Amino acid sequence: MATRGDSADEPAQAGDYDYQSDDVDRPGMVDDLAQLIDGDVRFDDYSRQLYATDASAYEMTPIGVVIPTSTADVAAVIEYCAEREIPVLPRGGGTSLAGQTVNEAVVLDFSKEMTDVLEMDPDARRARAQPGVKLGDLNRELAPHGLKFAPDPAWGDKSVLGGAIGNNSTGSHSLKYGKTDAYVEEVEVVLADGTVTTFGEVSLSDLRARADPDGDLEARFYAEVNRIVEEEADEVREQYPDLKRNVSGYNLDRLVDEAETGSVNLARLLAGSEGTLAVITAATVSLEPVPETKAIGLLTYDDLLDAMSDVAPILEHDPAAVEVMDDVLLDLARDTSEFADVVGMLPENTDSVLLVEFYADSDEAGRQKVADLIADRVPGDDAEADPSADAADRTDAPPRARAAMEAHDAETREKFWKMRKAGLPILLGRTSDAKHIAFIEDTAIPAENLPDYVADFQEILEDHDTFASYYAHAGPGVLHIRPLINTKTVEGIEQMESIADAATDLVVKYDGSVSGEHGDGRARTQWNRKLYGDRLWQAFRDLKTAVDPDWLLNPGNICGDMDMTENLRFDPDYEFDAGFDSVLEWDNENGMQGMVELCHGCGGCRGPQETTGGVMCPTYRASQEEITATRGRANLLRQAMSGDLDQEAADVEFMHEVLDLCIGCKGCSKDCPSEVDLAKLKAEVTHEHHQRHGSSLRDRLFANIDALNAVGSALAPLSNWLAKVPGARTVMEKTVGIASERSLPEFHRESLVDWFESRGGAQVSAAEADHRVLLFPDTYTTYNAPDAGKAAVRVLEAANVHVGIPDDVTGSGRPPFSKGFLDQAREQARTNVDALAPRVDDGWDVVVVEPSDAVMLQSDYRDLLDGDDVDAVAANTYGVMEYLDTFRLDEALATDAPAETLTYHGHCHQKSTRKDHHAVGVLRRAGYGVDPLDSGCCGMAGSFGYEAEHYSMSQAIGDVLFGQVDESDGDRLVAPGASCRTQLGDEYDEKPPTPVEALASALD
Ligand SMILES: Cc1cc2nc3c(=O)[nH]c(=O)nc-3n(C[C@H](O)[C@H](O)[C@H](O)COP(=O)(O)OP(=O)(O)OC[C@H]3O[C@@H](n4cnc5c(N)ncnc54)[C@H](O)[C@@H]3O)c2cc1C
Ligand code: SF4
Ligand code: SF4
């Protein structure tokens, strides 16, 4: 493998970017706090708006944001705020769905700096960590010890430990593991007055000894807990539903259960308290062994009620998880490119599926469990059931499933799970005003009551003239139900509250809870009184008052006077005005506005490369700053276009602070489960920005890189020599802002087109060829990397393809498109479509070597132009490896690849259009070993990495990739993208070849 330069020792840091706006609220308070703590204090408009939302339907602008670095910081902020009666809100990943992570308060964001695993004791199966550590990262550190933090909320790679405790989170495997409260042993907390203390297990006698209703906050807390244990136990037993999963209200059922053993654990009482009782600054948690293996049976049903009726008998098979997806969700999944293939494998007319997962000690045992399940639940399908299995493996219930699929290998299991876990965001892909909002989305019902509950719920929805999808954790009875509602209308708001009211009655009727997973927040607090009755409602309030007398910690949640219809993100007063007319084609409902309003805040774009993979969002991964995540950008864009920000999106400051660092990698357009396309939105806003404020010389130069490359090539080798003259790079940086650290691309005197002509054009005649291909002369391949183009010609001709290079096309338009010169990009697109479409009609295919140009023709042209000719060109354009793979042309090639493994880094634009896998298949068939990296963007992103002020961000993004390359055991790197090869070439001692060059070199 290529050797890495000196920088390998020092991880690159994203530079000192200004992530804040100029307008700062309460500057005096900012100064005070900044003197008190080491962390950042951010009360500017951007920061406040960034933290005004979470993954819920709510929006409230906080007072300000603090990013603490230590317990001392947290204590100082809380003490300062307590003295002035200012509310405080602790926050992790901000992935809560009920609105408990937005408030008019000072937000403490733990997810940036307080992220360490502090101690690990594998023998005792315990770990101690700061609250901001992501569960995925915690589990990655535990994995070598065969241990894990067992509760597995679906978004655990983006959400943090503090949030898991705050919400008492759990996941699909709660049947096995229960909720977070079962694993919290001890917490270090800061109380509402700034006192730092520790809560953990305490005997009832100690509890009484330390209780004092007139003492300090801690003593008052002990006193109130003791009172609840002594006076409210019967009421708690009477009112709390008998469920594995209930997170409504405070965790009093666990408290009174524990009290029977002679001690209680106050850390566990904090589980599910949603930041209202104390702020956690460290937590000790117990751990579970990672199961040896898993196996999945996916049962399909003709009807949702059949599936619901099947849950109880399935539970008798002792599964680790039983998850449901209904027809609404399956239909939506079928329409996404990511899940269409899995859904396509289900039998026709499948209405619902149950995903049943088993843990097992061996693969064989896992297979047997699935076989037993299928034999029991699918009529007539008992072929593989263990003949020796006793009757206990069969239930008495009539089988109701129609068919079954199995997953035993990790890849298929992961795909099934991914489809299930992305369920909620898929639903939220609607760009209409009506959205599937969260407000009764996680009711919990005993499994035996599910069929009746679902039938009654359907009636409620029909009565309210709407519909919803049912999915999630059927095993423990937690159904995610999100009715389609337009909260921009008064009727929609009334509809929402009325459904919630009726649903609460239903939940009470069926011994359930209004929240089995996501907590109370702004959506459910209002219903806790109905659920638990007046007496326990008062007990909640007394507990809160004892430890937080002025109600300063996340006030209102769980037992406050909350109205679920207030502070909604979209309400009847919401107004949208982008400030300009869009110039791109938007084929989704509500056009650009629909896309601007699409992000629902799930935080999927905050997942690390190591645990989440994919491309989205490289700038967040490099900086850990909310404003550099797709969510941050999308939120601010919507707020700028709806008047929440005192700025327009096309303003200079907004462009500079909010959109400038988006590298246009398109990762979000694929990896965001709702396919929020920030790159396209940025192109629109940048275009408008140019109209209003003009453009820089550098932007114009990069937009016209085609012409510059042609000149550079004509003047080579002089142009190359000039670029290497000592001091030339410094001059470039000072004059046009091109980073002096960067090497400039070399120009070739003989362009690809010159070479092609000089060899006499095509070597395979059209008459003899199997295919006819127009090799699109993209600018980089033509002038800077003709070897890649020559390799493409060589390989295509070896596969009996007639190749021509069109002379009536121009640059693809990618550079002006990504720089926001959309008129110019459209003009170039028009020229190319006019030139190519007639020949495509005539049976020619178009092949492009450079991935970003290929994707321009395949995808972005449809954003610029409308028409059948555009669609025809898009549909018949291929990347070179994609072409070989699609038509299996490589199978006819005689290859003799060296015995080596290629480490393959795909281009992010190809990943966004799901086309980067083609190269891997072709190279493998040619005889290479291939290690395809699950990598993101390389950080160069066209011109981005060349721009002086972006250099450090580019390097920090690249660093993630370099780490993956270093870990790969490949012998040699290959990468199709010009930018990626420049970035990798600058970091390693040689520039990697393109896959087509590797393939050409393997030709006999
Ligand atoms: C797509 C999607 C899927 C989800 N799937 C699941 C699931 O399977 N299971 C599940 O349980 N949840 C799920 N959730 C909800 C949410 O992700 C979890 O509840 C998660 O654990 C919240 O973690 P967070 O870091 O985002 O916390 P946040 O949302 O930031 O905070 C959650 C609560 O904890 C409090 N809090 C945060 N830090 C502290 C602290 N240091 N001290 C005291 N209180 C604190 C906050 O004030 C808030 O009330 C899902 C959400 C989404 C968007
Ligand atoms: S951009 Fe997509 S992934 Fe990120 S928060 Fe919004 S919806 Fe979720
Ligand atoms: S285009 Fe790339 S950098 Fe920009 S928001 Fe999307 S994922 Fe992030």
pLDDT digits (tens, 9 = 90+) for 629-680: 999 999 999 999 999 999 999 999 999 999 999 999 999 999 998 899 999 9
pLDDT band (50, 70, 90) for residue 823: very high
670 lines ligand 3 (CB under 6 A): no
Chain center to CA of 782: 37
Decide which of 311 and 471 is more confident.
311
Q: Are 932 and 921 in contact (CB under 8 A)?
A: no
pTM of the model: 0.95
Determine the distance separating the centroid of ligand 3 and the alpha carbon of 666, expressed in angstroms: 6
Does 608 have pLDDT greater than 90?
yes
Tens of pLDDT, residues 720-769: 787 788 888 888 788 888 898 888 888 899 999 999 999 999 999 999 99
List phi, psi (to 5°) of 655.
-60, -45
pLDDT digits (tens, 9 = 90+) for 55-70: 999 999 999 999 999 9
Decide whether any atom of ligand 1 lies within 6 Å of the 275 Cβ.
yes
Q: How far apart are the first and last CA of the chain?
A: 24
- The contacts of residue 534 (CB under 8 Å, 6+ apart) are none
Q: Which amino acid type is present at position 47?
A: S
Pairing assessment for the beta strands 147-148 and 184-190 based on DSSP bridges = unpaired
CA dihedral 885, 888, 889, 893 (to 10 degrees): 100
Residues 239-268 have a mean pLDDT of 96
Mean pLDDT of 828-841: 98
- The protein residue with its alpha carbon nearest to ligand 1, atom 34, reads 166
pLDDT in tens, 135-146: 999 999 999 999
Place 390 in a pLDDT band, splitting at 50, 70 and 90: low
Task: State if residue 668 touches ligand 2 by the CB under 6 angstroms criterion.
Answer: yes
Q: Is the CB of 911 under 6 A from ligand 2?
A: no
Q: Strands across the sheet with 279-286, in order?
A: 117-121, 126-129, 279-286, 184-190, 196-199
pLDDT tens-digit series, residues 903-918: 999 999 999 998 989 9
Q: Which of 272-276, 382-386, 533-537 has the lowest mean pLDDT?
A: 382-386
| Range in 263-272, 757-766, 984-993 the model is least confident about | 984-993
Lowest average pLDDT, out of 331-345, 485-499, 806-820, 947-961, goes to: 331-345
Atom 44 of ligand 1: nearest residue by CA position: 275
CB atoms within 10 A of CB 556: 23
Burial class (CB in 10 A: 0-12, 13-18, 19+), 894: exposed
Distance 652 CA to ligand 2 centre (A): 25
pLDDT tens string 430-460: 899 999 999 999 999 998 999 999 999 999 9
Is the model's pLDDT at 387 over the cut of 60? no
Compute, in angstroms, the gap from residue 466 CA to the centroid of ligand 2. 25
Q: Region of 521 please: left (phi>0), alpha (psi -120 to 50) or beta.
A: left
For ligand 2, say whether the CB of 601 is within 6 Å of any of its atoms: yes
Query: What mean pLDDT, rounded, does the chain reach?
Result: 94
Ligand 3: which of 598, 606, 662, 817 to mutate, most ligand atoms within 8 Å of CB?
662
Residue whose tokens read 């004892």: 546
- 3-state SS assignment for residue 355: strand
d(CA 986, CA 242): 62
- Spatial distance between the Cα atoms of 305 and 513, rounded to a whole number of angstroms: 20
Percent of the chain clearing pLDDT 90 (strictly above):
84
Residue 13 has pLDDT above 80, yes or no: no
Nearest CA to ligand 2 atom 7: 599
Residue 674 C-alpha to ligand 2 middle, in angstroms?
7
According to the model, what pLDDT value does residue 7 have? 62
Q: How far apart are CA 346 and CA 342, in angstroms?
A: 7
DSSP alpha helix (H) spans, 614-677:
618-623, 630-641, 652-654, 667-671
Query: What is the pLDDT averaged over residues 975-982?
Result: 95
Q: Which pLDDT band, with edges at 50, 70 and 90, does 929 fall under?
A: very high
